[in-house]
Structure formats: structure tokens, C-alpha cells
Structure 1
């Protein structure tokens, strides 16, 4: 499931991009808000206690490092990770976007071996991101084969991160620090989703409801 579910999330997101318009669909925006709340809650309930009870010093520094890394990655990706979509028709393969999203996905795959709830959080988050990314690529006129290539690389990076962690013992030595970096990444992405969930930074009853639902489900699972 660790390897399969992230792949299915990208396929699902691609399917959503074909049948609805992610930039204007109310249902899609609610899914994005839910994913942000769920991912933030799982990070707080699962990952944060794990790294802070490990007895390892300097964890806070690496959390902030992860946040800074994500800010830099979003400079390259223009914020696709938290729902931004910019239609472009340049016909050029978006290599910087691929590098940014691939590194983000690779890092988020590392802690998935330790938490099934975190796996669910990443999958829920990846579906709307994949939908937004697919919509952008389909409008960019880079060709269907390049779109498939891009999405395929993006899809395998999270399972690759999990596989690397499971098969290279040396990574266990630095696991807490890697987890802390991932926490910083998740905190930035999820809180940005929540702050930008509505125009003028206001919540309506529906979005408030799905945010509360995301928090409750993350706590109960």
C-alpha cells in the first residue's frame, strides 16, 4: 500500500482534471481544504511527537530548514503544492517544476513506512495536487507523451522515497532529521492551503466544516 496508494492518488488526480475544472469547482476547493487540514493534523498528531520524543537535539532547526526548503521549492513550482495553478501555453517542458515537485515528493515518502495515518494524509493531499498539475500540463501544449512522462516521474517519487528509507540502513541514522525536514515541509504546505482556502482569506460554512472534519478524522484514525 505504501507504494501503490501514492501512485493511485496521481492517477485519480489526473482523472479529476479531465472531468472537472479544479480552478473553479467548489467541490475541488473543498477537497483541497480537507486535504490541508488532514495533512496538518496528521503531522501534529503523528510526526511531531515522534521526533520530539526521540531525544535527538536540534530537531527544531531541521523543522525550520524543511520550511525554508519548501519555500524555495515553491519558488520553482509557483505553488502547485498548495493549489495554485497557472495556465501556460509555451510548449516548453517545465523542467524546474518537475525538479521541485520530485524533490518534494521524494522527501515526503521517507516517513511513510512509520505511519499508516501519515500515508493516508499524503495520499489525500496528493490527489488535488495531481489534479491541478495535470490541468496545467494539459493546457501547456507540451504534448501528451511529455505529460505522461512528467506525471509518471512525479508519481513514482513518493514510493521511491519510501523504498530508499526501507532498503538503506544508513538513512535510519538520520531518520529523525529527515522526518523533521518533512515536518517543516508539511507545516508550510498545509497551513498555506488553509490560509488560502478562500478568497479574501475568509471561510464559509462548507469549508469550515470540511476543515473540522479533516482534523477529527486525522485524530480518530
Structure 2
């Protein structure tokens, strides 16, 4: 299966052929623009359009035995496509785009707060990152530094490196608990800024093409979660007065 979102996160519709239907109803295709739940980012929803115009509503997208296997989960009561059938895939673009903006915002927060990441969850309106840190930091200061990066409109692009290159540059990995999968070929880096001057880290998620697309964001709350853990919550819009 070809995961088209890895190279083009803005691809919202594409044709694909059914290569399998699992016992639980999950649909497998030869290629897809649907992102599967991983790395704290939820999988895409949307629908498949059949040649007769009927729709198969997709309630979620998950990975199978490996990250390379993507399974599209139909909503209850949907028709089952035939093996070899050609479908036109349509993701819920408004939802995806908000997730792209939020996931990018999480990367920017990891620049402003350069501490090991112990957990993360991306949603359409409120995302969180947990950092291994003991320092006290002002949320207004973090918000201001985030918005500096957003307004600077830095480019965001992908770069691929070998597993050996990643091993030679362990500082690229910001997560304390999760490591990029091994044995599946090259590793994708998501880079921010000309020549990656702002950031570069392994990530399989979807992101916007320029930081200005993130829009206005703020840190809604910083919570203490244990002696050496701080949870930052990112929200869209201006900080409350």
C-alpha cells in the first residue's frame, strides 16, 4: 500500500483499488490519502465513493500489523466493496486541516520548550504535550514565542534519512518513550525553516506547508503531572483576556 499523505498532506481525494476486506469489515486499498491513527494524531474520517455514486462512510483509519498497513474502518451498516473495485476516496478535509495545523503547533511547542517529550495527543481544538521538565514557565511567554514562529511563516518540508543517519544523530528524536519504527526503510524528518534552521525531527504525521497556516494559538493551561512532568495544552484562537 502507498501512503500518499507522507508526501502530500493536502491530497484530499484520490482513486484507489480495493485489495482486501478484513473479517471485521476493515477495507484495505492499494493506495490511500487517509492518515491512520499514530503518534498522537487521530486517523482520518470521510467516505469512499463507488462507481454508481453510492457512499461508504469511513468512521476511522488505523494501522494493521505494521505502520505500513492502513485499514479503513467503515461506519456501522455500510456496504462492503468488492475486491478489485475502484473507489474515489474523500477525506473530511476541514477536520484533517485542523489536525494538520494542530500537529504543526505541537512541533513549534517542542522548539519553544526543548525538553524530552513523554506524551502527546492531537485533536481538532485542544492538543497536549507532556514534557520531562521541572522548570516553571509562564504560559503567556510560551504563547508569545509560539506566535513569533507562526508569524515568521517558516516553510515546512519533509526530508528522508537512513536509519543509520538517525542512529548517528540521536538528538533528532525528541520523544523520550517512543522511537521511530525500525526495519521499514528510510525515516521521514519534518523540517521547519530554511535549511531546517528551526527544527527537524522524525514524524509520520500530517502538517501544514508554512507556519503561518497554523493561525493564532495559545497555551491554555500548564499542569503539573508528577515531580518531573509538565502538561501543556495548546488551543486555537487568542488567549483569554
TM-score, length-scaled by structure 2: 0.23
Structure 1 or 2: larger strand share?
2
- More RCO (CA 8 Å, sep 6+): 1
Structure whose residues are more often helix by fraction? 1
TM-score, normalised via structure 1 length? 0.24
